[in-house]
């Protein structure tokens, strides 16, 4: 397996910032992006802002990059206009040298991507912070995928992991559609615990089923640890893809 370290992206690109409306998930309770916006007064997180002036930015980057799109927002927040989605997708189609990474806590809104066939240079992340949320979100995702015949590279963002999570219900027929699992504890001063055995069990399950795993950060004795060298040896795993 190809191994890597650090983050699973090289660059962020935020043509949309802010995430208004009702919180989408228990994982939003200590929203990292909201804290960041409050600290740097860069924007008001409770308001959505579209920044068309940076839409062309990825086209200027010649070296291929992994680009996280809107990492302080959710592109499927219903406040995001269809025009904004259209223009973001247009850049992604044109910038074929890059890989673009989306993550959403609102897969029930995936039809907002239509009429697009999702580009091949896009990795779609579906989020789940506990078992119930993951089940709901994957049900929504697969309903959309089969209805529209869209099967992008799929990764699961199990972060913040707030309870034990198993992929039991998704390892039969659906297994071939799941490409990567990213696991991480919550960060910030109000972080909630993430037990190491939850992470271990999920990593084992991914290993047994040939799913790439990226352990992003761990709750070690109440501290959110990001440096992989401080992880227990068996959890020092950061894989982008299977060979
Ligand atoms: S969806 Fe993401 S950006 Fe929006 S409030 Fe939740 S954690 Fe924050």
* DSSP annotation string for 169-236: GGSSGGGGG--EEEEE---STTPPP--HHHHHHHHHHHHHTT-EEEEEEEEETTEEE--GGGS-GGG-
Residues 138-157 have a mean pLDDT of: 96
Give the domains, in start order, of the chain with CATH numbers.
11-235 (3.20.20)
Kindly report the average pLDDT of the chain as a whole number.
94
Mutate to test the pocket of ligand 1, among 14, 23, 43 (most ligand atoms within 8 A of CB): 23
- CA–centroid distance for 1 within its chain: 21
Specify the pLDDT at position 243: 64
* Atom in ligand 1 nearest the alpha carbon of residue 104: 1
Report CA(1)–ligand 1 centroid distance (Å): 31
Q: Distance (Å, rounded) from C-alpha 69 to C-alpha 91?
A: 11
Residue located via tokens 């004795």: 221
Residues 90-114 have a mean pLDDT of: 96
Nearest CA to ligand 1 atom 4: 19
4-18, 180-194, 228-242: least confident range: 4-18
2-46 residue pLDDT tens: 444 469 999 999 999 999 989 999 999 999 999 888 787 778 999
Q: Say what percent of the chain tops pLDDT 90.
A: 90
Confidence of residue 169 (pLDDT cuts 50, 70, 90): very high
Residue located via tokens 């044109």: 94
189-224 residue pLDDT tens: 999 999 999 999 999 999 999 999 999 999 999 999
Residues 135-143 have a mean pLDDT of: 98
Nearest CA to ligand 1 atom 7: 28
Specify the pLDDT at position 1: 44
The residues that bridge with 184 in the sheet, in sequence order, are 217
Specify the pLDDT at position 230: 97
The full length of the chain comes to 243
Is the C-beta atom of 31 inside 6 A of ligand 1? yes
């Amino acid at each position: 397996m190809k191994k890597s370290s650090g983050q699973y992206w090289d660059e962020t690109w935020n043509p949309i910032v802010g995430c208004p409306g009702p919180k989408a998930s228990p994982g939003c309770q200590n929203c990292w992006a909201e804290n960041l916006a409050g600290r740097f007064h860069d924007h008001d997180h409770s308001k959505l802002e579209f920044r068309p002036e940076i839409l062309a930015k990825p086209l200027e980057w010649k070296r291929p990059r992994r680009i996280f799109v809107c990492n302080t927002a959710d592109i499927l927040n219903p406040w995001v206009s269809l025009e904004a989605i259209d223009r973001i997708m247009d850049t992604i189609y044109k910038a074929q040298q890059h890989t673009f990474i989306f993550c959403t806590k609102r897969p029930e809104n995936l039809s907002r991507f239509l009429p697009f066939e999702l580009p091949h240079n896009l990795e779609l992340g579906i989020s789940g912070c506990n078992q119930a949320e993951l089940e709901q979100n994957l049900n929504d995702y697969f309903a959309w995928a089969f209805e529209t015949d869209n099967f992008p590279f799929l990764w699961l963002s199990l972060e913040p992991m707030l309870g034990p999570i198993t992929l039991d219900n998704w390892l039969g027929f659906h297994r071939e559609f799941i490409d990567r699992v990213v696991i991480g504890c919550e960060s910030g001063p109000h972080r909630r615990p993430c037990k190491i055995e939850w992470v271990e069990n999920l990593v084992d399950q991914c290993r047994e089923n040939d799913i790439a795993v990226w352990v992003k950060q761990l709750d070690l004795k109440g501290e959110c640890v990001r440096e992989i060298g401080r992880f227990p040896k068996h959890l020092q795993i950061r894989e982008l893809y299977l060979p």
